[in-house]
Chains A and B, each alone.
Chain A
């Protein structure tokens, strides 16, 4: 059974500092997704990582993938209040119809 674990579950950030969210998954997968969810809203796609060593960056967010370690990280640089949200990672396999298996989420609160 495919399992996805994120840590930490909750992250209180100070503006201007750097932080990392970790995502581990239990079995080989074809792609790794990062989503953002604001309270009461749906999921917003941030990144899709397709291969070992893949790195993607958008603004203050950078995601990377190590398929050998079955680990992805989401790095936040110089946190700002607008980044307060819950972040989910998810994995998918082509042979399983690309259905997503999600981690439990990391709730991020950026304080001034």
Chain B
């Protein structure tokens, strides 16, 4: 079946602009995670959804970052007033309820110039 998909695969934007990154989880997966991976580092947790609600947003670096999952499926990560330090690969993962395996998407590479 289809895995986790993310769009766009690459996004180049200018400093100060607004961007949206989309994640399509595996059908039926209630848990959805966003992670950010900077060059040469391990992924860092941003936010976790259980269904439609954000169960844990403790990893969001500041209030420029926001994520939604209005219907409990697709999620959008929104970044306002982008800064060069936001440049990274943004990874999405989904998990079936009551299981422990997270399935990662291919990521969106964000470059802020």
**Chains A and B bind each other:** yes
Chain A residues at the B interface, C-beta cutoff of 8 Å: 4, 31, 41-43, 45, 48, 50, 88, 90, 92, 96-105
User: A98–B103 Cα gap in the complex (Å)?
Assistant: 13
Q: Once bound together, how far apart are the Cα atoms of A27 and B40, in whole Å?
A: 24
Cβ–Cβ < 8 Å partners of B91 in chain A: 42-43
Q: Would you give the 0/1 interface string for B54-67, flagging 1 where the beta carbon is closer than 8 Å to chain A?
A: 01100100000000
Q: Is the CB of B106 within 8 A of A42?
A: yes
* Interface pair A48/B55, CB less than 8 Å apart: no
Number of residues from B at the complex interface, CB < 8 A: 25
Q: How many A-B residue pairs have CB under 8 A?
A: 52
**B interface, over-half SS:** strand
Task: Tell me whether B101 and A48 are in contact (CB under 8 A).
Answer: yes
A31 near B100 with CB under 8 A, answer: yes
Cα of A103 to Cα of B40 in the assembled complex, Å: 11
A-B contact pairs, 27 of them (CB 8 A): A41-B106, A42-B91, A42-B106, A42-B107, A43-B91, A43-B104, A45-B103, A48-B100, A48-B101, A88-B42, A88-B43, A90-B42, A92-B100, A96-B56, A97-B50, A97-B56, A98-B31, A98-B102, A99-B45, A99-B48, A99-B56, A99-B59, A100-B33, A100-B43, A100-B45, A104-B41, A104-B42
